[in-house]
Amino acid sequence: MLELLPPLNDKNLPWLDVIHPIVVHFVIAMALITVVFDFLGVLTKRRNLFEVSFWNLVVATVAIFVAIIFGQIEAGLANPYGASRDILNYHSTLGWSLAGVLGLLTGWRYVVRQKDPTSLPSGFLVIDAVLAVLVFCQVYLGDKLVWVYGLHTVPVVEAVRSGALS
Amino acid sequence: MDLLIEIASPINDIVDQLGANDLPYAIPLHPNLVHFTIGLFAIGIAFDFAGAFYPLEKRVFRFLALPVTRTGFHDVGWYNVLACAVITFFTVAAGFYEMLLAVPLPGIRSVIGQNAIDTMLWHAIGGVALLLIIVAMTIWRGYQRFVWRKDLGRQVTWLYLGCGALILVIMGVHGSLGAWLASEFGVHITADQLLAAGADLQEVLP
């Protein structure tokens, strides 16, 4: 059964490059720009910015589920070592939690928008700030996995395969 | 790091302030800013497509009882591309700073057969070109929004949308070069640089 799966390359992936960081562009950029446009909308009283932030929030929410699917596959193939095991666990837990947070936020926003697309409850800005903090933490954890621990990079995969790293 | 010391370069003056990843800080900035450049441009163009095809979609949205306006979609297209143009100056600036400090692993070729310096130079030229293209697209988009097409429902021309789609393909290739600089050439990746220096990761990486 396992031999039916595609062979893994020198990055321990069944595809050319990691896909999770590509999908994540749309979660990070859209979630954070939502917060920026919400605040700008309130400060400048430009109500059409709420429409911009709403649609960016929708994109972030859809994208996070795609990001999680690829994230889980690539995490399973990542061979984490040392402290990166813990970081990967925190990153996965926070990733699923963020899907919940984004889902709830989009749901709330949808209901608010159905009533009046030009208004934003002030409490929403507080949750926006919480969302931004969570996204920053999640990006920091993901960055550590790539830029410090080098998961799915050729030299680290080689070291793991040769038994020098476990 | 040893490679740097052998070459006469002003970087040698700050070499003792750099970490194992050849940067004065642990996490590179450029790849994080890239999320915004790519995400905002792609979704900006996507929503202008949604605005352009609005007559086809509006029945679907009515069926879903989701109130949408064509102006709303075009607002997303305009503001996202505008934000992308602003942020991309920082993306390119951070990219050049981190390129100056890059120490690619020697003797490696990427999947398309390029060596490290060629990959890096193409990525740098592409980055400047894309910045100019993004700024030009934003100005073009602004003129369409506020002057040429301000009284029309479809705020963008098909040519603008076609150019946007083409630029996204170029961005994909350009982004792949950048991704290989990390995943193949180990640029600014602490673990890869330590392995190349012969360190035992189990001891030096906490």
CB pairs under 8 A between A and B: 136
Predicted pLDDT at A11: 87
* Helices B30-52 and B158-183, packing angle to 10 deg: 160
Say what the ipTM of the complex is.
Answer: 0.91
Q: Does B195 touch chain A (CB under 8 A)?
A: yes
Note the pLDDT of residue B139: 97
pLDDT surpassing 80 at residue B73:
yes
CB of A160 closer than 8 Å to CB of A166:
yes
What average pLDDT score do residues B155-174 get? 95
pLDDT value of position B6: 63
Per-residue pLDDT at B8 exceeds 70 = no
pLDDT of residue B2: 59
Selected residue of A153, A157, A158, A160 to mutate for chain B interface (largest B Cβ count, 10 A):
A153
Tell me the nearest-neighbour CA distance from B41 into chain A, angstroms: 10
Give me the residue from A33, A49, A147 closest to B27, CB to CB. A147
Which string of b and e fits A14-39 if b means at least 16 CB within 10 Å?
A: eeebbbbbbbbbbbbbbbbbbbbbbb
- Chain A nearest-CA distance from B140, in A, is 20
Minimum-distance CB partner of A29 among B36, B183, B206: B36
Q: pLDDT by residue (tens digit) across B38-53?
A: 999 999 999 999 999 9
B181: closest chain A residue by CA: A153
Least Cα separation, residue B20 to chain A (angstroms): 9
Q: Cα separation of A79 and B183, whole Å?
A: 15
| Closest residue to A59, CB basis, from B43, B189, B191 | B43
Confidence of residue B16 (pLDDT cuts 50, 70, 90): confident
Average pLDDT for B96-104: 91
Averaged pLDDT, B13-18 = 81
Half-sphere exposure of A25 (CA within 13 A, CB side): 21
User: Is the overall model pTM greater than 0.80, yes or no?
Assistant: yes
> For residue B36, what pLDDT is reported?
96
More confident position, B64 or B96: B96
Using the beta-carbon criterion (under 8 Å), do A150 and B192 form an inter-chain contact? yes
Residues B106-126 have pLDDT tens digits of: 888 888 888 889 999 999 999
pLDDT reported for residue A71: 95
CB contact under 8 A, B175 and A22: yes
Burial class for A156, CB neighbours closer than 10 Å (0-12, 13-18, 19+): buried
Whether the predicted pLDDT of B25 surpasses 80:
yes
Residue B168 token pair: 């996204």
pLDDT at residue A7, rounded to an integer: 87
Amino acid at A143: D
**CA B83 to mean position of chain CA atoms:** 13
Interchain pair B72, A55: CB under 8 A: yes
Low-confidence ranges of chain A (pLDDT < 50): none
Q: Is the pLDDT of residue B1 over 60?
A: no
Chain B, window 38-97: residues with a beta carbon less than 8 angstroms from a chain A beta carbon: 38-40, 42-43, 47, 67, 69, 71-73, 75-76, 79-80, 83
Contact A139/B32, CB-based, under 8 Å? yes
Q: Tell me the nearest-neighbour CA distance from B179 into chain A, angstroms.
A: 8
CB B191 to CB A82 under 8 A?
no
Q: In percent, how much of chain B has pLDDT > 90?
A: 59
pLDDT digits (tens, 9 = 90+) for B123-146: 999 999 999 999 999 999 999 999
- pLDDT tier for residue B67 given thresholds of 50, 70 and 90: confident
Q: Looking at the complex, report in whole angstroms how far the Cα of residue A52 sits from the nearest Cα belonging to chain B.
A: 5
Picking from B31, B72, B83, the nearest residue to A33 by CB comes out as B83
Provide the percentage of residues in chain B whose pLDDT is more than 70: 95
Looking at every residue in chain B, the average pLDDT score rounds to 90
- Token duo for residue B197: 């220096």
